[in-house]
Amino acid sequence: MLGRKELADLDLQKQALLLESDLNRVTLQAEVQSLRSATAWVNDVTSASRGLAPLLVVLAPLSGFLLARGSRRSDSWLRRLMALAKWVAPLYRLWKSFSARRSGPEAGTPTA
């Protein structure tokens, strides 16, 4: 049979284990919350990149064309920048039309 000293030691050991368990539980909850916020960040970045896909489809070939065209001439950087600025408005309209088609008809727009 166990004496009072042994029972007191076992009780102290039990309390220490319970405190350690609580500490581990709080640590695990903090790690899960951190993981959830990291997952939310990845989802935000992924959805943002999906939103830029129509723009990238247009800009990738255009940038290749402009780089190839620009390497043949020795124009100043200002002239190249002005030539690029000339394309910004038409490309923006094209991108908006791709985005509108992808998102579907707007709520206030009547369909024919």
Residue type at position 61: P
Q: How far apart are CA 112 and CA 62, in angstroms?
A: 34
Give yes or no for residue 89 having a pLDDT over 50: yes
Q: pLDDT for 21-60, tens place per residue?
A: 999 999 999 999 998 888 888 888 777 777 777 787 888 8
What is the percentage of the chain residues whose pLDDT exceeds 90? 26
Largest CA distance in the chain: 98
What is residue 52's three-state secondary structure? coil
**pLDDT, mean over the chain:** 81
Give yes or no for residue 82 having a pLDDT over 50: yes
Q: How far apart are CA 83 and CA 10, in angstroms?
A: 82
Confidence class of residue 105 from pLDDT cuts 50, 70 and 90?
low
- Start-to-end CA distance of the chain, whole Å, equals 91
